Amino acid sequence: MQKQSAYMITAKGFTLIELLISVVIGMFLMAGVFTVYVNGRVVQDKTEVQTRLIDDARFAIDTISYDLRHAGLWGEMNAHHLIRGALGVSTTILPKTVGSNPMDPITDLEAPDCGPSWYTDLAVSLNASDNSNIFSSTCVGAGYVAGSDILVTKYASPTRLPAASLADNVVYVYSNSFQGELFTGKTAPTFLDAATVGANQQGFIHLLNTRVYFVNPDTETGDGYPSLHRLNLAAGPRLADVMLLPGVADLQIQYGVDTTGDGSVNTYLDPAPGLLSTTKAIQFWVMLRTKDDELLAGETQTISMAGQPAITYNGGPRRVVMSTVVKLRNRQTFSTQSGG
């Protein structure tokens, strides 16, 4: 019994002061771990936001680039002056179609239109504005961000369509290597030129694509969050306004111009009348921004596009700018274009 009492007397635990010191040290350690976690989470969130903006910018770049590469292609040819039914092309330049019947008339678009017979003006297969709305009509109207550029492309879809897939009030291009025709509806033309035989009689059907890219001040009506819109030629025929991508705050375009006649781009210039005849490429920029404020007060971001003066933003939404250069595959179709 005496040995057990001696052992119990010598055994000791933590004092209250030691426990308090341990708790305080633990709290400091936990505060450090929590701070590291919070800071890491903030960095991760910013990285995710940046990544989403970059992915969206790539989508816009790829979508617009596709249309630019195909602008001026009319199915099996790229000679707009041989497409019967196009604006300015004589109806007698090619034989009549579908037996003894002339082609269906190509009418103006349903309102809002961008101008009389505008979408049949195949000579203007590419056009762009410089910080302005190039359309005096209401086809873009109030849904346009002032100071941004507008881009127009026209071409026949590369996909050949079977006659069984044709629909009413849809505009198509029928063409081979020698001639072509615009038509609407379910009855495709047939070339009937007695002077040509064999393959010259055969054509292929393609959908006519007429597209207008512009920046709209809203994604949903009145929300103030800008977005990239595209007017598409649709059944009617009419222009259908499609919201392609939210967050696009600006679109800027420059023409890559051959000023020496050596066949290569010597300089990039803002869109202007007369430049398209010597334009070999298009460079364009898209700027995307977050919907919410991601930059803290005092945190700045400097943005520069298309040679314009740099703009420094203090706080507010985070922004990303991406650009690319697209070589024009069908440049010769722009030679008759007199506007910019």
Contact 179, 82 (CB under 8 A): yes
Whether 2 has a pLDDT exceeding 70, the answer reads no
pLDDT in tens, 180-209: 888 888 888 777 554 554 544 678 999 999
Q: Radius of gyration of the chain from Cα atoms?
A: 31
Give the whole-angstrom CA distance, residue 271 versus residue 268. 9
Whether 88 has a pLDDT exceeding 80, the answer reads no
Mean pLDDT, rounded, for 305-333 = 87
Q: For the CA atoms of 230, 235, 238, 242, what is the dihedral angle to 10 degrees? A: -20
Give the whole-angstrom CA distance, residue 129 versus residue 317. 27
pLDDT value of position 172 = 92
pLDDT value of position 203 = 85
Pick the residue with more confidence: 125 or 117?
Answer: 125
Whether 8 has a pLDDT exceeding 60, the answer reads no
Q: Does the model's pTM come out above 0.85?
A: no
- Spell out the residues 6+ positions from residue 258 whose beta carbon is closer than 8 angstroms to its own: 264, 265, 266, 278, 279, 280
pLDDT value of position 133 = 92
Whether 137 has a pLDDT exceeding 80, the answer reads no
| Percentage, residues of the chain above pLDDT 70 | 79
pLDDT value of position 206 = 95
Average model confidence (pLDDT) across the chain: 82
- DSSP structure class, residue 108: P
CA dihedral over 118, 123, 126, 127, signed as positive or negative: negative
**How is residue 334 written in tokens?**
């722009």
Closest CA to 269 of 339, 60, 278: 278
pLDDT value of position 201 = 60
pLDDT value of position 85 = 81
**How is residue 8 written in tokens?**
């119990």
Reduce the DSSP state of residue 296 to 3 states and report it: strand
Least confident of 60-74, 165-179, 191-205: 191-205
Reduce the DSSP state of residue 245 to 3 states and report it: strand
Q: Hey, where are the domains in the chain?
A: 43-334
Closest CA to 228 of 249, 254, 256: 249
